[in-house]
């Protein structure tokens, strides 16, 4: 996925959930839309370099949108993380079309926002439905991962997620019916090397994920790669496959907040 032209600045604060104050490199202080409903634990770090996109649409209340944050790394470099959760599905869809999700390659058709209604009133809209005359059908739900805890590992979710748990229950029910059901973690943080359910933040989600896997749900994880030109981010793409652990415990002795 190619970005529109991005403008650099420094994060001053995120507030009221959907707003962020940023000091642009030219000295202007602007209010940007924060397109992330989560806690943004570990990626809401004032003082860090951020990248904003802009819009000249007069119908918009805010011209700026917060896209990326660059987090300082021990080796002196910076790891980029996408804070725009609305980009995850587009990133994954592009990768599916280009065959860059190995476990899901070879399907002939893709449908967005597949509505699923099951017995007992269980229903949800899942992100993708893949169909193929030879391979059958696969339902795919995408979750963006940006939480890297102080133990060095990646986790999802970054706060209690009832919606995420409901999606797991629908995927599990589909798997029990013999359908292919897939949870894909879109890891939008360059410093994350593996993913696990965040049992320390949402134990119900972690338990539901383990039950879903026991029912036959597949869990995949791939990390995004930010493409830069002259140091400026110009695109973001789904890259390498990462391992997923269902039972990792956070080491609180390492100073996790």
Tell me the mean pLDDT in the region 69-91.
92
**DSSP class of 247:** S
**Amino acid 66: pLDDT:** 98
How far apart are alpha carbons 4 and 101 in whole angstroms? 24
Residue 257 confidence class, pLDDT cut points 50, 70, 90: very low
Q: What is the pLDDT of residues 84-135, one digit of tens each?
A: 999 999 999 999 999 999 999 999 999 999 999 988 888 999 999 999 999 9
Tell me the mean pLDDT in the region 2-24.
97
**Amino acid 254: pLDDT:** 57
**Amino acid 57: pLDDT:** 86
Q: What mean pLDDT is reported for the chain?
A: 94
Tell me the mean pLDDT in the region 210-232.
97
**Amino acid 256: pLDDT:** 42
Domain boundaries, the chain: 7-82, 85-254
Strands (E), the chain: 7-15, 19-24, 29-33, 49-54, 64-72, 78-82, 109-117, 123-132, 136-145, 147-148, 154-156, 180-187, 195-197, 218-229, 232-241
Q: Specify the CATH architecture of the domain 7-82.
A: Beta Barrel (2.40)
* CATH code of the region 85-254: 3.40.1350.60
Tell me the mean pLDDT in the region 162-185.
97
pLDDT at 172 over 70: yes
> Who contacts 214 (Cβ-Cβ below 8 Å, separation ≥6)?
none
Cβ atoms of 181 and 217 closer than 8 Å: yes
pLDDT at 253 over 90: no
**What tokens appear for 83 in the block?**
């804070």
Cβ atoms of 125 and 115 closer than 8 Å: yes
pLDDT at 1 over 50: yes
Helix (DSSP H) and strand (DSSP E) numbers for the chain = 3, 15
**Amino acid 60: pLDDT:** 86
% of the chain at pLDDT higher than 70: 98
Tell me the mean pLDDT in the region 138-152.
96
Q: Which residues pair with 225 in a beta bridge?
A: 237
Strands 136-145 and 123-132: antiparallel
């Amino acid at each position: 996925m190619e970005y529109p032209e991005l403008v650099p600045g420094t994060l001053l604060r995120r507030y009221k959930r959907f707003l962020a104050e940023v000091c642009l490199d030219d000295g202007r202080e602007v209010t940007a839309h924060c397109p992330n409903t989560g806690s943004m634990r570990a990626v809401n770090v004032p003082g860090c370099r951020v990248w904003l996109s802009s819009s000249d649409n007069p119908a918009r209340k805010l011209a700026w949108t917060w896209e990326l944050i660059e987090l300082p790394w021990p080796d002196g470099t910076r790891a980029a993380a996408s804070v725009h959760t609305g980009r995850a599905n587009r990133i994954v869809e592009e990768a599916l079309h280009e065959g860059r999700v190995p476990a899901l390659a070879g399907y002939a058709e893709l449908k967005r926002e597949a509505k699923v209604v099951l017995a007992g009133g269980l229903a949800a809209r899942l992100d993708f439905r893949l169909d193929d005359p030879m391979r059958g059908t696969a339902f795919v739900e995408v979750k963006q991962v940006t939480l890297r805890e102080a133990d060095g590992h990646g986790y999802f979710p970054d706060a209690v997620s009832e919606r995420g748990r409901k999606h797991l229950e629908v995927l599990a029910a589909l798997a029990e019916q013999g359908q292919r059901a897939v949870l894909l973690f879109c890891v939008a943080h360059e410093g994350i090397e593996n993913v696990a359910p965040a049992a320390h933040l949402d134990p119900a989600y972690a338990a539901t994920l383990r039950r879903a896997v026991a029912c036959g749900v597949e869990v995949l994880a791939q990390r995004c790669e930010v493409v830069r030109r002259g140091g400026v981010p110009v695109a973001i793409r789904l890259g390498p496959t990462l391992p997923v652990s269902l039972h990792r415990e956070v080491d609180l002795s390492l100073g996790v907040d």
